Chain A
C-alpha cells in the first residue's frame, strides 16, 4: 500500500458518515455546497506552507491540482457567481490534499459571508463547538488570537519568514531579542491578559476590543486567549482560533476571519469560517 493511500475501516467509515449526518443536523440552516476535487491551481495564494498536489495541465495552459483548501475553493466559486445573496452561511464536508504530511484529509467546515461584526466570528466558534459536542468531543479548549495584531507587528521585520516560524514554534529563545514579540508569547490566559495588553498598546485597541467582545459572546465555552497564536494560511486578517483536546497534540479544529481573500477574486466580501479536522476526531 503506498503511503499516500488510506483505507478506512468499517468503524471509522461509520464515524465519518456520522460526522456528515451530525453536520446536517447542526448546520440545518446553512447552505450545503459541493465543490470540485480537481481544480485550477490558484497561484495567488502560494506561500511556503502551501504545497499543492499538481495532477496535470488544463486545456487553457493553467495547472490542475487537487483541492488544497476549502476556503480558497469556496471563495473562487462564490466570487464567480453573478448573483450572490449576502449574508450567506455555508457548510461543506469533504477531502483536501497536501504534499506535506497526510496526503488526503477530511474536513467539515462552515463559512459565514458578508458580515464583518464580531458576533459572526463568535457564532462560527459557538457552532463548531456545538458540532464537536454532538460528535461526543466534550473536553476541549478554544484558543483565540488575532492575526491583525501579529501581522501588523511583523510588518516591520525584514526576516518575517524566520520570525513567523519562531512564533509558530513559540520559540522564546529565538525571539528573545525582540521585546514586543516575546511579550506576545506571554500574552496567554483569560480576558485580563487582553485588558493588560490593551492598556499598554493603544495602537491595537480595535483588535483588543474585538477580542474582549468575543469573550462576552462565548461565555459558556472554554476560551483561552493567546496573542501569539498564528495560523499559517496567509489569508487570515482578524480573530483566529484553534481547538485543542487534552489527548491530542495538534488542533482538532481551527479557523478565523479573512476579510481580504475575496478581493483577490474581484469581490469585497468580509468572511469568517472554520473547519473540524475529521481524521483527528477519529484518533480520539
Chain B
C-alpha cells in the first residue's frame, strides 16, 4: 500500500518539497506545474490549494498532508495533527490603516475583511466585539484602502504586502507553521508506512 500525500501549492510548496528532499523522503524535486498528480515512488503527491489540504486528508483520498496551522484553525478538520514541521512560518494578524489603530481598541462593532471567517469570528467574539465578517478569497489588503472594511485579518510573512498597501499590524492573533496531518483511518490501516514517513520527518 503506497501513501498518498496532499501538498499545498503556492507559498508553502517549495519549502515542503525542500523539506522532503532534505529528509530523504524523495530523491528528486517535484515541480509545481499543471500536473496535479505526481507519482514519486512509493508516494503519490496531490498538488492542491493550501486551504483544501484538510479536505483531501479528512476524507481519506490522501493519507497525509502538509497544511498550514492557519488553515487547520479555520477549517477545524477531523484528522490527526502529527507534527509541527517548523516551515512556512507566518503570523495571523489584524491589520488596518495607521490612523485606525487607536480607534480599533475602542470599537465594539467592527467590519473585517478576511479569508478566514471562522478565525475572525471566534477571535472577536472572545473579546466581546461584535464583528461583521466580509469573506474574500484574495487581495484582502485592498479592503481598508477602498473602504470595504476598516480592518483585515490575514496572514503576514514579511509584511511587505501590508506596507505597499499602507497598512500596519494592529494586533496579533496567532502564529502559524506547517503541520503534518494524517487521516484517522490511514493512521491505523497504513500505520507502518505512516510511522516510517513520520520518523523521517521528525
A contact set with B: CB distance below 8 Å: 141, 143, 169-174, 188-189, 224, 226, 244-251
Contacts and interface: CB of A to CB of B under 8 A. Distances in A.
Contact of A188 (B59, B81, B191): B191
Contact of A141 (B59, B81, B188): B188
Nearest to B81: A169
Contacts of B191: 188-189, 224
A245 B185 contact: yes
A169 B73 CA distance: 13
B57 A246 contact: no
A169 B60 contact: no
A244 B188 contact: yes
A141, A143, A169, A248: most-surrounded residue (chain B CB, <10 A)? A169
Contact of B80 (A169, A189, A224, A247): A169
Given A171-B82, A249-B78, 5 more contacts: A174-B84, A224-B191, A244-B189, A249-B60, A249-B185
B182 A246 contact: no
Nearest to A170: B80
Interface string B168-196: 00000000000100111111110100000
A244 B182 contact: no
Contact of A172 (B60, B78, B183, B202): B202
Given A249-B78, A250-B78, A244 B84 contact: no
Nearest to A165: B81
A193 B63 CA distance: 24
Interface residues of B, number: 23
A189 to B, nearest CB: 8
B141 interface: no
A171 B184 contact: no
A246 B189 contact: yes
Contacts, number: 56
Interface string B73-111: 000001111111000000000000000000000000000
B81 A249 contact: no
B81 A170 contact: yes
Interface of B: 57-60, 78-84, 179, 182-189, 191, 198, 202
A173 B189 contact: no
Contact of A249 (B79, B83, B198): B79
Contacts of B82: 170-173
B80 A141 contact: no
A255 to B, nearest CB: 17
A250 B184 contact: yes
Nearest to A142: B188
A231 to B, nearest CB: 13
30 contacts: A141-B189, A169-B79, A170-B81, A170-B82, A171-B81, A171-B82, A172-B82, A172-B198, A173-B82, A173-B179, A174-B84, A188-B191, A189-B191, A224-B191, A244-B184, A244-B185, A244-B188, A244-B189, A245-B185, A247-B60, A248-B60, A249-B58, A249-B59, A249-B60, A249-B78, A249-B79, A249-B185, A250-B58, A250-B78, A250-B185
A172 B59 contact: no
A245 B185 CA distance: 6
B187 A170 contact: yes
Contacts of A249: 57-60, 78-79, 183-185
Contacts of A245: 185
Contact of B185 (A173, A226, A246): A246
Q: Which 10 A-B pairs have the closest CB atoms?
A: A173-B84, A170-B80, A169-B81, A249-B60, A244-B185, A246-B189, A249-B183, A249-B58, A171-B81, A244-B188
Contact of B188 (A171, A174, A224): A224
B59 A143 contact: no
A249 B59 CA distance: 5
B46 to A, nearest CB: 15
Contacts of B184: 244, 249-251
Contacts of B198: 172
A143 to B, nearest CB: 6
A143 B188 CA distance: 8
Contacts of B80: 169-171
A174 B191 CA distance: 20
A170 B182 contact: yes
B34 to A, nearest CB: 28
